[in-house]
Amino acid sequence: MELFEKDLQSPTLPPATIRLAILNVTLMGCLALIASCKTEPSNSFTFTADLPPGFTYQAFVEYTPAKDETCSVPDRRKTVSAHNQKWRERYEPIFEIPIRRTISGCPMAIRRISLDINSVYGKSRGDFSADSAVVAVLPDIEERYKNSFDSRGESTFHGQCQWLFRTSGKPRILRKILDCKETDALGTPEPGRPFAAYTHDQLPGKTVRMKIKLAREEQPYVRDTWVKFPNGWKRCLGDNFEDQYAFCYGNYTDFSTFTMPDGRVCTIYPSCTE
């Protein structure tokens, strides 16, 4: 560098040459500085969900000691973080999830996301139902079980939820149960609940999306308790109105009323009146 500076001070060099040489030296110094800086890989990924209208989800993110770590966290509650815990009051579909955390001095890595899919069908606080979905995260997974990401860094897993209905109690109050199953991208049902699996090194900076559709038709929760007619479903009477099971057992002419969650007494579901 000293020799270079002396050369620049030579009276035989024209000013334009000197300026160009200084510019080149400055540029090389900047490039060297940039090359020496290493970008730290992201320690998080984004989770989000596309759900039917009126649906929400809760997420419980579980951590376990990182690979080859022998430490442990005595209080297991500290290894789980919750999102959308108060989903009735405030719901956020997108959130950022750390992949690795240090908890009580122990290096931990994400193990799974347990998801509750919620929906309300009435005005009372108990008039809601939920079903589950899971995202598993492991150090190693066989390729055939591992979900992949597209060119945008996004991975989507799919499911379909269906409302099932039944009656409960002596007034035969209508209750609804949410039943969610895994599907492929085209909506073809697959065994089990909505599910996805990834390795830790797949996730930094990526987006995982849960996409749930709602089945068009509702179905009875228990077989042989309702009869389908062109305009809806009628509740079999059973032995008498107080028969809590009230199976049809071939009697498809005697039916009972039932009470909707809003208090209406009905003879057919879902229209209530014939």
Residue 165 lies in a domain: yes
Predicted pLDDT of residue 41:
74
What DSSP line would sit under 122-145, residue for residue?
A: SSSTT-EEEEEEEEEEES---GGG
One domain, residues 121 and 244:
no
CB–CB of 107/46 below 8 Å? no
pTM over 0.85: no
Q: What value does the mean pLDDT of the chain take?
A: 89
One domain, residues 166 and 52:
yes
Q: Shortest CA distance to 235 belongs to which of 126, 121, 244, 215?
A: 244
Tokens of 5: 């500076």
CB–CB of 158/171 below 8 Å? no
One domain, residues 108 and 164:
yes
One domain, residues 172 and 230:
no
Residue 271 lies in a domain: no
Q: pLDDT band at 23, cuts 50/70/90?
A: very low
Q: How many CB atoms lie within 10 A of CB 247?
A: 14
Q: Give the residue with greater pLDDT, 47 vs 22.
A: 47
Indicate if the pLDDT at residue 12 is higher than 70. Answer: no
Q: What is the pLDDT of residues 50-90, one digit of tens each?
A: 999 999 999 999 999 999 999 999 998 999 999 999 999 99
Q: What is the pLDDT of residues 186-204, one digit of tens each?
A: 999 999 999 999 999 999 9
Q: How far apart are the first and last CA of the chain?
A: 96
Predicted pLDDT of residue 259:
96
Share of the chain above pLDDT 70, in %: 85
Overall average pLDDT of the 198-221 stretch? 97
Residue 274 lies in a domain: no
Burial class of residue 9 in the structure, from the number of CB atoms within 10 Å of its CB (0-12 exposed, 13-18 middle, 19+ buried): exposed
Residue 206 lies in a domain: yes
Helices (H), the chain: 2-8, 15-36
DSSP assigned state of 263: S
